[in-house]
Structure 1
Amino acid sequence: MTFDIVIENGLVVDGTGAPGRVADVGIVKARIGAIGDLKSAPTARRLAATRCVVAPGFIDIHNHSDLVLLADGRAESMVRQGVTTLVTGNCGLTPAPVHDAVRDDLKKTMIGPSYGSWRWNTFAQFLEELRAAPKALHVAALVGHGAIRAAAMGFGDRQPSPDELEAMKRLTVEAMEAGAVGMSTGLVYPPGLYGDTEELIALSRVVSAFGGYYASHMRGEAATVVESVRECLRVGREAAIPVQISHHKAAGRENWGKVRVTYGLIEAAACTHDVTFDIYPYTAGSANLSQLVPPWAHVGGPEAMLARLRDPELRPKVLHDMVHGTPDWNNFFRVDWRDIRLAYVHSQRDRWMQGLSVHAAAEQMSRDPVDLALDLIVEDGNRTTMVNFVMAEEDVDFLLPKPESMIGSDGRAFTPGGPTGEGHPHPRSYGTFPRVFARFVREKGLLRLEDAVHKMTGKPAKKLRLDRRGELKEGYFADVVIFDPTAIRDRATFEEPHQFAEGVHWVIVDGHITLDRGALSERLVGQVLTRAR
C-alpha cells in the first residue's frame, strides 16, 4: 500500500484509554490505512514523531462557534490546540430555528457578536450555510431549546399551549432530521428558563427517538445546583435519553464544595444510564453580562429587558434584585464585582473597559459597579460579555479526573487580526486542551495521559455517535493531532488571552495537514458531521 502520509515512531494513544504504544500510522486520502511498522512503506510524506504523542484529533464537546465559522473558518485558536471537531449549539441558544418576529431578539440573546445577516429560518437552512462555509475543522451541531421555544411562542414567561408544544415538537423533529446531534438547554437564559421540566421531557423524547442526546446548561449552578442536577437526571430517565451536563460547577463562594453532592448523584445515575458532564480547567466562566440581571427583567426578550433597564421607575428594583436576589432566581449568587471582568464591550466609547473588572472600571469613573453594569448592557444592546471568577480550584480538581467527565472549552474560535479576533475573551478559547495536559497530567498528576486523551476523543465521539471518529483505528477517518507531551501547554492568560498554545506540531483533518509545524494550511477541509445512522 502507498500512503499519502506516514507518521513515524510516535507514541500512539488511540483514544480508547488503552496504554500508548510506539508505532507508525499510515494515512491514505481521508482514512487511516494502517498502524504498525511502516518504515519501508512508500509514502508521499513522512512526519517524524519520535518522543511525540500521536492521538485522535480533539473533540470540543462544548463550544459556541455557531456563527464564528461563517465569519472566519480558520478557527486558529482551536486548531492550534489540536482540536479537529467543535460541538456547537450549546446552552440552548442557536441561530435556528428562527423567523422574522423573533430574529432580532434571538440575535441579541446569542453570546457575543452576531456576525452579519441571518439568511436562514430553519435549522436545515442554517446547517446548509455552515456546510457551504470553508472551515478548518469539523462541526457537529446541537439545536437549542431556547431557539425552539422562541420560534414557537416568543420570549414570554408562560407555559406553552397544546398547539405551541406541538409546534415545538415539530421544530425539534425538523432539526433532528436535518442533522442535529441532540438538543441543548440554557435554563438560565430567556426564553429557555421559562420552560418547565415537563416541557423538557416532552421535547427530549423527540430527540431520543432520533438517537440524539440532551445537553443541559442547568437551571441553577449556584444555590440550587443539587436540585438542578436532579432535574437534569429526571429528564434523562423519563425521556430515555443520554444526558450531558454542561460545564459542571458550583458557582459562588457560598456554594463551593457542593459538587461532591452533585457528583454522587451523577455517579449513581451513570450506573444505569448514559450520564456524563463536561468541564474546563479554569476557575472562571464567561457569559453575557446580562446573566446577572434578574429573570423577571428578561421577560419578553432582550428589547423588553433593555426598556426596563432604561425605565427610571423599574431600574431601582433591578439594581436591588441584582444585589439581593429574588425567591425564584435559581442561578442567583452574591456577586463581588472585582470578580467580574469585561470580556467584550461593543461600544467604541466604552471599549477602554475591556479586560478590566467592573469594579475597577467603576472606581475609575467614581460610579456604582451595579449601575455601571446596567449602563453597559443598555449601551451595547445586550452584547457585553464577561469573565466571571466564581469557581473553586478544589472543585475543578475534584471533578475533572472523574470517569464521567469530558473536556469542553465553553469557548469559541478566534483568529487574531480577522473578523473574529476582537475582544478580551476567556483564555479557554486558546488554551483548554493543552492546559489539561500541562496542569492535570504533568504538574498535578491527577490524570493519566491516556485518560486525558480519551476524555477529548473517544468518549465524546461515542456520545455524539460519530461514524468512525474519535479513535485511531484502521479504516477510521484521519483526524489526528501530534504533540510533545513534555512541552504542550497553554499560554493564554486572563490578562493576555490572545496567545496560542505551544507543543502541538501537526494537526491533520480528514487526511489533510491543517497545521504543519506552526504553519496553517490555506485549504480548509472541515465538514458538518451528523449522527451515525
Structure 2
Amino acid sequence: MQQFATVIRRARIIDGSGQETSSALFDVALDEGRIAAIQPTGESSWQGDAEIDGAGHVLTPGFIDVHTHDDLHVIRSPEMLPKLSQGVTTVIVGNCGISASPVTLCGEPPDPMTLLGPADAFAYPTFGVYVEAIHRAQPAVNVAALVGHTALRQNHMDRLDRPATAGEIEAMRTQLCEALEHGALGLSTGLAYANAFAATTEEVMALAEPLASAGALYATHLRTEFEGILEAMGEAGRISRHARVPLVISHLKCAGAANWGRAGEVLHAIESAQSHQTIGCDAYPYIASSSTLDLKQVTDEFDIDITASSPHPETAGHTLKQIADRWGLGLLETARRLQPANAVYHNMSDDDVSRILSHPATTIGSDGLPHDPHPHPRLWGAFPRVLGHYSRERGLFSLATAIRKMTGQSAERFGLAERGFVRKNYWADLVLFDPDTVRDTATFAQPQQQAAGIAAVWVNGVLSYHRGCAQPHRAGRYLPRRGPAQHGQPAA
C-alpha cells in the first residue's frame, strides 16, 4: 500500500483546462507539495497521513487572483483569510502602477499608493528586499508581483505632475531591471491617476523596453475607462508592441453612464488587436468599482459609497449623497471635504460586465482593497460570485469555463509554471467546493463575509483552510516568473 502525505478521496475533478468533465470520481494523492498521483476512486491502494473525503464535490486548481492590491497585506496579515476563504491560493500584486517595492518614500505615499497601506509599511527600497520579506512572513497564499510605474516615478521625480526626463527614466529602468532579475512578472501602469497621468506614452514605452528580454509583460489600468476608452486601449497596444511584450488590460470595464452599452465595441477592439499582438484582460464580477475618491468621477448619475475618509472616518459606509444631504452641501464640495478618501462607484451596467466576463480573453481578478476599512465586497467574494451567481445561477458560462478563467488561463498568461492545473507532478494548489452551494456572501453593506460552499483549500500540498477556518500552518511562497511569455509582434 502506497503511503502519501495527503489523500483526497471521491472528488470530481475539473482540471483548469476548460475541458468539460464527467461526474466520475477520483482519488488524488499529495506528497512533497505536489500532486503525486490521480486515479479513479476504488482503483487505488493508497494510504494518507491525512485523508479527506471529497464527498463528490468538485476539486479544482486553487484560484489565481490576477489583480490584487495585497502587496503589504501578504506581509502584515499573512493569514490572508479574505483570499483563502474563497479558494484563492495565489495573488498577483503590484497592479495599477502601484507596488510596495521598490519604494523609498519622502513623506506620505502619493495617491493612489495610499490604497496599499500607511507610510510606515513601505519598507522595501529594492525588489529583492521585498522578496526576502515575503519569505520571512510566509503568507498563507503564493505571491507573484508586478512593478508599479507610479512607485518608480515617486522614487526618482521631485514632482509627479510632469513627464519624466531621460535621466529619470533611466533610473526607473535600473530599478525595474533589478526587479526582473528577481523574477518580477513585468511592469504595471495606472495612467488614469493624477500622479501618472502626466507621463507620456513615450515615457512608458522607454521604461518598458527591458521587459522583452526577461520574458515579462505589460499590465495597465488604462488612461481612461470612460468615453475615451478606445483611444486608451490604442495607447496601451502601442506601448506593448514597442516593447514586444504581451499586454494585459486591467479590470476592463465601460465606466460611466455615458459609456454603458459599449462592451461589444471594446471587445471587438481587443479581438482586432489580437491579430498582431498578444493581448488579454481581467475583470471582477461586480457592476461597481472602488478606488480613491476622485473629484473627476463625482456625479449624480449613479451612487457613490464612501468607504474611508481621513478627516471624517465616521462617514464610511454611507453614500456621498447621504453625506451631502446631511451637511447641506453639493456633491463636489462634500467630496472635497472628505478627501483623502476612498469610494465605491456604481458606474457599470450589468450587461457590459456580463459580456466582458464571458469573453475568452478575460480572466478573473478581485481588485480588492484590504487596507480599506469598509472594502468593496469583491475582496472577500469575487471568485465564489463567478461560480455561484454568474455560472450556476445565470448560466453565463459552464463551470469548466469559469474554472479555467480563474486557474489555467491565468497561470499561462502570467508564466506561473506547474500551477493552474490538476495534473500529476504539478504543485498541489487545490480547492474543494460544493458546486451546488458555493456563493459569495459579502455585500456592500457587510463586505467582510466568508464565502459559502468552500470545503477545503490546499497551498503547496498543505491543508490551509478547512471547514470555515484557516489552518495553523502557512505554506505560501514567492513565485518568480517562469518561462517566456508569448511576445507581441514588433510595431509597424
Give TM-score, length-normalised by structure 2. 0.93
- Cα 1:172–1:273 change in 2 (3 A) is same
Q: Which residue of 1 aligns with 2:389?
A: 439
The yes-or-no answer on 1:48 pairing with 2:53 is yes
2:58 & 2:35 partners in 1: Cα distance?
16
List gaps (5 residues or longer) in structure 2: 484-492
- Cα 1:496–1:256 change in 2 (3 A) is same
- Cα 1:250–1:337 change in 2 (3 A) is closer
Kindly provide the CA deviation profile for residues 444-465 of structure 1, in whole angstroms up to 9, marking residues without a partner as x.
1111111100010011111111
1:478 & 1:220 partners in 2: Cα distance?
39
2:433 & 2:52 partners in 1: Cα distance?
12
Structure 1 position 162, deviation (Å): 2.2
Structure 1 position 352, deviation (Å): 2.4
Corresponding letter in the other structure for 2:83: M
Match of 2:299 among 313, 327, 335: 335
Q: Secondary structure of the residue that 2:174 maps to in structure 1?
A: helix
- Cα 1:46–1:140 change in 2 (3 A) is same
Where do 1:148-163 residues align within 5 Å? 148-163=152-167
Structure 1 position 500, deviation (Å): 0.9
Match of 1:503 among 444, 450, 453: 453
The yes-or-no answer on 1:423 pairing with 2:399 is no
- Cα 1:412–1:231 change in 2 (3 A) is same
Structure 1 position 160, deviation (Å): 2.5
Structure 1 position 73, deviation (Å): 0.8
Q: Which residue of 1 aligns with 2:99?
A: 94
Structure 1 position 402, deviation (Å): 0.7
Where do 1:146-295 residues align within 5 Å? 146-289=150-293, 291-292=294-295
- Cα 1:40–1:246 change in 2 (3 A) is same
Counting aligned pairs with the same residue, the percent is 35
List gaps (5 residues or longer) in structure 1: 293-321, 323-332, 414-419
Structure 1 position 368, deviation (Å): 2.3
1:405 & 1:83 partners in 2: Cα distance?
17
Q: Secondary structure of the residue that 2:96 maps to in structure 1?
A: helix
- Cα 1:117–1:442 change in 2 (3 A) is closer
Q: Which residue of 2 aligns with 1:10?
A: 11
1:156 & 1:518 partners in 2: Cα distance?
45
- Cα 1:77–1:115 change in 2 (3 A) is farther
The yes-or-no answer on 1:401 pairing with 2:358 is yes
Structure 1 position 75, deviation (Å): 1.1
- Cα 1:157–1:195 change in 2 (3 A) is same
Structure 1 position 337, deviation (Å): 7.5
Q: Which residue of 1 aligns with 2:124?
A: 120
Corresponding letter in the other structure for 2:93: T
User: Is the 1:186–1:217 contact (alpha carbons within 8 Å) kept by the matching residues of 2?
Assistant: yes
User: Is the 2:457–2:464 contact (alpha carbons within 8 Å) kept by the matching residues of 1?
Assistant: yes
- Cα 1:19–1:402 change in 2 (3 A) is same
User: Could you tell which deviates more after superposition, 58-67 or 205-214?
Assistant: 205-214
The yes-or-no answer on 1:489 pairing with 2:451 is no
Match of 2:400 among 450, 459, 466: 450
User: Is the 2:98–2:112 contact (alpha carbons within 8 Å) kept by the matching residues of 1?
Assistant: no
Structure 1 position 155, deviation (Å): 2.9
Corresponding letter in the other structure for 2:387: F
1:370 & 1:170 partners in 2: Cα distance?
41
User: Is the 1:243–1:275 contact (alpha carbons within 8 Å) kept by the matching residues of 2?
Assistant: yes
1:89 & 1:99 partners in 2: Cα distance?
15
Q: Which residue of 2 aligns with 1:368?
A: 330
Aligned length: 478
Q: Secondary structure of the residue that 1:264 maps to in structure 2?
A: helix
User: Is the 1:337–1:359 contact (alpha carbons within 8 Å) kept by the matching residues of 2?
Assistant: no
Corresponding letter in the other structure for 1:187: L
User: Could you tell which deviates more after superposition, 260-269 or 123-132?
Assistant: 123-132
Match of 1:390 among 333, 347, 366: 347
1:173 & 1:112 partners in 2: Cα distance?
23
Q: Secondary structure of the residue that 1:42 maps to in structure 2?
A: strand
- Cα 1:233–1:100 change in 2 (3 A) is closer
2:332 & 2:152 partners in 1: Cα distance?
32
Q: Which residue of 1 aligns with 2:308?
A: 344
Structure 1 position 131, deviation (Å): 2.3
User: Is the 2:94–2:188 contact (alpha carbons within 8 Å) kept by the matching residues of 1?
Assistant: yes
- Cα 1:370–1:112 change in 2 (3 A) is farther
Structure 1 position 338, deviation (Å): 5.7
1:116 & 1:71 partners in 2: Cα distance?
12
2:431 & 2:95 partners in 1: Cα distance?
25
Corresponding letter in the other structure for 2:401: D
Where do 1:64-79 residues align within 5 Å? 64-79=69-84
Corresponding letter in the other structure for 2:336: L
- Cα 1:238–1:72 change in 2 (3 A) is same
Q: Secondary structure of the residue that 1:43 maps to in structure 2?
A: strand
- Cα 1:261–1:338 change in 2 (3 A) is closer
Q: Which residue of 2 aligns with 1:357?
A: 319
2:194 & 2:220 partners in 1: Cα distance?
14
Corresponding letter in the other structure for 2:245: I
Structure 1 position 176, deviation (Å): 1.0
